Chain A
Amino acid sequence: MADVRFLLTGDTSVCVEFGNEISEPINAQIRAFNIALSNSSIPGIVETVPTYRSLMVHYDPEVIRCAPLMDELKGLLGQLDKIVIPPSEVLEIPVLYGGEMGPDLPFVAEHAGKTEEEVIKIHTSTEYLIYMLGFTPGFTYLGGMSDEIATPRLKTPRVKIPAGAVGIAGSQTGVYPIESPGGWQLIGRTPVRMYDSGRETPILPQAGQYIKFYAIDQAEYDKIAAQEAAEGYTVKRHPRKEGGK
């Protein structure tokens, strides 16, 4: 923790920076620190925002001023190795690949020099770390996609991409949580609602969790979509084993 930096981001928040690269170990430290902070008795914390390599801590200066807060946060960092952090969760996200749902799957396969089935196999073989959420509500920045299926963005972005679309952009992959414009290569769609403002937990994924995609057929897609439209579908999840896979 020697190189953790505390950066001033105005008078109601501070950025705790754990490093200057995108890496799973750094992100794991952020997750551990965020859990330790939420379990701590440090007063005045309003909300925290984990990103690739930092945790932004918003606080109320009426409750705790900047200098004492920094002392508390430094103290917490010093105890991190003594705190037991539960393993990350893996969210299992069903995807209907190809066809109308994944109009760019043929292009991604051609670009990779593989069959569509091989692309699906590679895309579903990895547990992707959710480094952070941002851009739009519920949009996940995932890490760990195989370079074998990396594909450049569309030259002309689409005006409207439906919620649930699963795409590839360069070496990134992810799910569009809300209908939006975008230039990702669309390879499939999930019937799972990553975002639903009416739900008790409006946004499904959390930074520090992992996403594992698995392929489903049209019948399964329709079944889950119907459940989402009715009482809601409960995504399967399991604790991640050390080392993944």
Chain B
Amino acid sequence: MSITVLNPGLLTTVQDQGRIGYQQFGVSVSGVMDPRSAALANIIAGNDQGEAVLECTMMGPQLQFDQANVIAITGGDLGPTLDGKAIPGYTAVAVQAGQVLRFTAPKAGCRAFIAFAGGLDVPVVMGSRSTYMKAKIGGFQGRKLEKGDQIGFRAPVKSLSHMEDRHIPPEFSPRPVYVLRVVLGPQDDAFTSAGIDTFLSGTYTVTPEFDRMGCRLDGPAIAHKDGGDIISDGIAFGAIQVPSAGTPIIMLGDRQTTGGYTKIATVITADFRILAQLKAGDKVQFVKVPVEHAQNLLLAQRRALKALSKINA
């Protein structure tokens, strides 16, 4: 085997860009909470953007390498060290057999993504290597990592071309208040105009009820016209549900495919990289943008990723 888990950390799972095409059967998409950061880690490690990575939450794992490989860590700064020496994020790092990767403490953000050159050797289930914990599907035995788990590499390398150039500036920096841009809908007409104003002008606080399914916020209650229940319909990544109590819940990777609460707006895809790094106590404000603008931002991000993957190919 190639990695031995000495300590799994708080919540470490194998994730790729998600299980696409099975929502109609009730299968959650799962996938990394921050697709952009995971894609960047893969590009730096010489992989396809969509390769499976380890998603680490708050307290990262301790992993012993049993085989040499090249890794890259992106997303939040959880304080990575190799054999006790700090290693930089957003940088290709060659690791040797016997070395131990540890994370000391979260310094910025909440989630880090570790890419391994050549990818992890876990089975593809319904087109994806993502872990879907609720249904015990995919990833490493359908669950989060535990002490003693051993995971293989598919195609490890001792080094990559232009190792010294495989570095980009870290993207996430903490802020006193995070702005999440949203597209209003699908049920924005279920709220009073005062309710919409409350949503767009209020400051919300991330609560500890924050897992891979959703992120519950605390703050000014958003007024419905006639309650927060609807006949169940589909739920997008980033959908902001507002049940009758009036406080929002942002739906994330492991969300159920359908739900029966009004959704006031959806966080734009370009801002998932911020959303994924929020932690309890962080402050959030919402700003509405037209869908065309949201798509321009997303496509610009994708073009930049493509350009970068060509340089690092």
Contact = CB atoms under 8 A, between A and B. Distances in A.
**A11, A20, A47 — which one has the most chain B CB atoms within 10 A of its CB?**
A11
A47 B28 CA distance: 13
A93 B223 CA distance: 45
Interface size class of B (residues with CB under 8 A): 35 or more
A62 B234 contact: no
**B21, B126, B257 — which one has the most chain A CB atoms within 10 A of its CB?**
B257
A137 B137 contact: yes
Given A11-B298, A135-B256, A136-B135, 18 more contacts: A9-B236, A9-B266, A10-B183, A10-B236, A10-B239, A10-B291, A12-B236, A13-B234, A13-B236, A47-B21, A51-B233, A62-B299, A133-B24, A133-B26, A133-B257, A138-B26, A197-B126, A197-B137
Nearest to A13: B236
B26 A203 contact: yes
Contact of B258 (A11, A51, A65, A197): A51
A132 interface: yes
A94 to B, nearest CB: 21
Interface stretch (B72-80, B167-175, B184-192, B211-219): B184-192
A47 B137 contact: no
B27 interface: yes
Interface stretch (A53-61, A72-80, A108-116, A215-223): A53-61
A13 B134 CA distance: 24
Contacts of B295: 11, 61, 65-66
Contacts, number: 134
B137 A52 contact: no
What 10 pairs across the A-B complex have the smallest Cβ distances?
A56-B234, A10-B266, A7-B186, A8-B185, A134-B258, A11-B294, A203-B25, A133-B26, A49-B234, A61-B295
20 contacts: A9-B186, A10-B268, A11-B269, A20-B231, A46-B20, A47-B21, A49-B24, A49-B257, A51-B258, A52-B231, A56-B234, A58-B236, A66-B291, A132-B258, A137-B22, A137-B137, A177-B26, A178-B135, A197-B137, A206-B24
Contact of A11 (B23, B231, B291): B291
Interface in B16-46: 20-27
Contact of B125 (A22, A46, A197): A197
Interface of B: 20-27, 125-126, 134-137, 183-187, 231-234, 236-239, 256-258, 263, 266-269, 291-292, 294-295, 298-299, 302
Interface string A86-125: 0000000000000000000000000000000000000000
A207 B183 CA distance: 29
* Interface SS, B side: mixed
A161 interface: no
B259 to A, nearest CB: 8
